Structure 1
Amino acid sequence: MGRGEGGGHRPRGTRWREGGVLVTAFVLCLFGGVIHVDDTLSAPPLTAYLVAVASCAVLPARRRAPLATLAATTAIGVLVPLLGLLLSPPIVAPAVIAAYAYALAAPTERRAAGAVSLSAAALLLASTPLFGDLSWQDASRMGTMAAVPLMAGVLGRSTRNRRAYLTAVQERALRAEETRDSEARRRVDEERVRIARELHDLVAHQITLANAQASVAAHLFDTRPEQTRASLDELVETTSNALDELRATVGLLRRTGDAATPEEPAPGLSRLPTLLESFRTAGLEVAVRHEGTARPLPPGVDLTAYRIAQEALTNVTKHAGTGTARLRLDWSRDQLTLTVADDGPGTVPPPDHTPGYGLIGMRERATAVGGHLTAVHRPEGGFLVTARLPLPPARDASRPPGPPPPADEPPDATA
């Protein structure tokens, strides 16, 4: 780059190229000044030098003011016959260069065509003999004078279109790369949230059960040794299950390549009895009620319903301060409404308690399958979680979740 580029000077390569254009135009002008009508050559007269200098002097302005440069060089070309010189393509080389520059810079093709056509028409009229017969040489020269500016304009416009095309291709490639990057980041974020949600649901449920079983064992350690032993056995089973599920989850995360079908099916409502039994061993009795006719669910909705029930009951165990809860599954034509309610007074968290992500995860799960979830305090006491999940037509369900879980206890009319 040139030493003064920061001050507005052109790069060195551009200056050399500009100098080459000016020298070429000057030489062509002088060469046009030595050609006569009878095709003889002589030394260029003073007027040829004047035309060459005047025409080339305005060429450096063709980038800043292309239309004015084209008008000036065309006007000088029109004056050539009046100075006793033959109007030929070499002597109007600066006008040809200006026509190319304007066609390259014109904002629209109509403006470019109009200005270049006017320049060609002016040079054509200037090259027309005013006296005498029109010879074939004169006609050929006139046609050439009109064609050369037009050809320069077409070349300039083609160059502009080519540059615009290459710029558009580069911009599309850049946008495509940015889109790919943003899509990759979005997928990574979604996968990170999904993994965090799965681990939270898994760990929170198992640890809550383990904590409840350990609390029971500690409470009954001195008074009921046999029941304490049973609670400890359940605690061992719960922690063992938690480790197995964590190993399975980590194994899936470490798997590379396209994963085939998972080693175990994702949990769904068919595993609801096992889930309720795990809560029962932790001291939470859950009354289940079904309304409507159960139907097969797509895997995503099936997993979402299971995880929401799991997390909602886990929250009852942790925060409600009660030993009972109610789970209701309401099957309608196009929607499954799952509600979990309790009558507990709730517990006051310690001042340094950090809010968890259970409700956030449940809402994200419901939204991901096109559903909606609400969680509110009941006016009569307790907490109510309601998830409304869409049900596609039976033929669209990709796998049946198995038979609906049986109601382990009599229906609860207040659920």
Structure 2
Amino acid sequence: MSTNLQRHAARHPHAAEAGLLALLLVVTVSGVLFTRSITDSPAALWPGIALSVLACTTLPWRRSHPLPVLVVTAVCAIAAGTLGYLLTPLLMSPLLVTQYSASLRVSRRKAWNSALATAAAVAVTGMLFTDFGHQLILTSINPAAWVLLVAAFGSYVRVRREYAAARAEHTAQEREQEASRRVMQERMRIARELHDVVAHHLALANAQAGTAAHIAPTNPHQALEIVARLPRTTAAALRELKATVGLLRQDSDPDEVTPAPDLDQLPDLLASYSAAGLHVDVTVQGERQRLGSGLGLTAYRIIQESLTNVTKHAATRTARVRLAYTPHHLTLTITNDAPTPRPAAGPTAQRGFGLLGMRERALAAGGTFHAGPRPDGGFEVACTLPLHDLGARENESDSTS
């Protein structure tokens, strides 16, 4: 029922306000009649009713001008007290409603100063002018206590509203920050995918073209075979680029997106490097286990980026890949024996994102990563990955807790 009344009041605010004013007028006049009924020498009736009407007619402006309306209603209540009326909550109802509105809309200091002044005024009025013998509680303490109680309730409601507004704002800010964080993570993930795809296939195409140009004078037949493989390399690059860019398209058909590569495509990856003139020796230790899609993609990209760096920077045509399986971890080690040239120093030197991307992938999967020169020459990339995706491990821990 209360919900229906609230909805009706929201749809018809003017009718609800008029009904409230009429109800307050009836309550205030009832307070006047009640005082006359319990007094041996009742005060004049019509002045009390006139003061009640005047107090109620100022209430529509209690929201826009709370303090002036509070002054008018307080003067009306005090005037009724000087006429001999007992200041009951019924008779003071316009004053109490205005005091509540003032506590909500003016500053806390002004609200409490006005409440204290009003309480003191009605207390003194009841003590000096109301003819109820020595009943101090009824004439002075009771009306002052009602004014202070309504002011305290208004201050409480105001604090609760401010707290709810602050909490809603904080929740909205947290939601925006979480959305921004997720967008940033997705951008970084797509950036890593694009870097790995472009760097890998361009490095292979460049190596194949360079090898073909180098051996063309002496072995044109083999050079033509290498050139014939270039369309396959570029076609593979286009397929992976299409799959990666498809992640950005909300309306893309899942059937058109190529599945993410994993270690099952490792032989094809090694064949592409072999076509570019890089011989890769693969060693598998331990019993091979099935990897999740996220972990398989991470391992594949780390091997791909490491071998791409060997192709672009190392002065060698051989590399070694070791996959070591344990019951809980997969360790990847990619090494080459030739020294890797350091990038040129100076303002034009640019630091690549390959090592950074590999580190981010390993850490995001809950593993470790290390890359650096070997003591006896060459370069080594080593990372340890858990054999379960980080998200799967978190779901398992949540379900067991």
User: TM-score scaled to structure 1, two decimals?
Assistant: 0.67
Equivalent residue runs for 1:10-409 within 5 Å: 16-35=65-84, 63=109, 66=112, 70=116, 74=120, 77=123, 81=127, 85-87=128-130, 129=134, 142-143=137-138, 145-256=140-251, 263-350=257-344, 352-392=348-388
The code of the aligned residue for 1:343 comes to D
**1:388 alignment partner, SS class:** strand
Give the deviation of 1:333 after TM superposition: 1.8
Distance 1:61 1:224 in 2: 92
Give the deviation of 1:164 after TM superposition: 1.6
Higher CA-based Rg: 1
Give the deviation of 1:77 after TM superposition: 3.9
Per-residue CA deviations over 1:160-214 (Å, capped at 9, x if unaligned) read: 2211221122112211221221122111111111111001111111001000000
The answer (yes or no) to whether the contact 1:77–1:87 under 8 Å persists in 2 is no
**1:315 alignment partner, SS class:** helix
With over 3 angstroms needed to count, the CA separation of the structure-2 counterparts of 1:77 and 1:294, relative to structure 1, is: same
Per-residue CA deviations over 1:207-264 (Å, capped at 9, x if unaligned) read: 010000000111112221101101101122211221222223333422428x757743
User: TM-score scaled to structure 2, two decimals?
Assistant: 0.69
The answer (yes or no) to whether the contact 1:61–1:69 under 8 Å persists in 2 is no
The answer (yes or no) to whether the contact 2:62–2:69 under 8 Å persists in 1 is no
Distance 2:85 2:350 in 1: 97
Answer 1 or 2: which has greater helix percent: 2
Distance 1:61 1:389 in 2: 60
With over 3 angstroms needed to count, the CA separation of the structure-2 counterparts of 1:73 and 1:191, relative to structure 1, is: closer
Q: Which runs of 5+ in 1 are unaligned?
A: 1-11, 38-59, 89-126, 130-137, 398-415
Per-residue CA deviations over 1:30-67 (Å, capped at 9, x if unaligned) read: 33223289xxxxxxxxxxxxxxxxxxxxxx99935947
The answer (yes or no) to whether the contact 1:209–1:238 under 8 Å persists in 2 is yes
Q: Which runs of 5+ in 2 are unaligned?
A: 1-60, 87-105, 394-401
The answer (yes or no) to whether the contact 1:62–1:70 under 8 Å persists in 2 is no
How many residue pairs align between the two structures?
310
The code of the aligned residue for 1:272 comes to L
Task: Please tell me the root mean square deviation across aligned C-alpha atoms, in Å.
Answer: 3.3
The code of the aligned residue for 1:390 comes to P
- Point out the more displaced range, 310-319 or 148-157: 148-157
With over 3 angstroms needed to count, the CA separation of the structure-2 counterparts of 1:36 and 1:28, relative to structure 1, is: closer
Q: Percent identity?
A: 42
**2:372 alignment partner, SS class:** strand
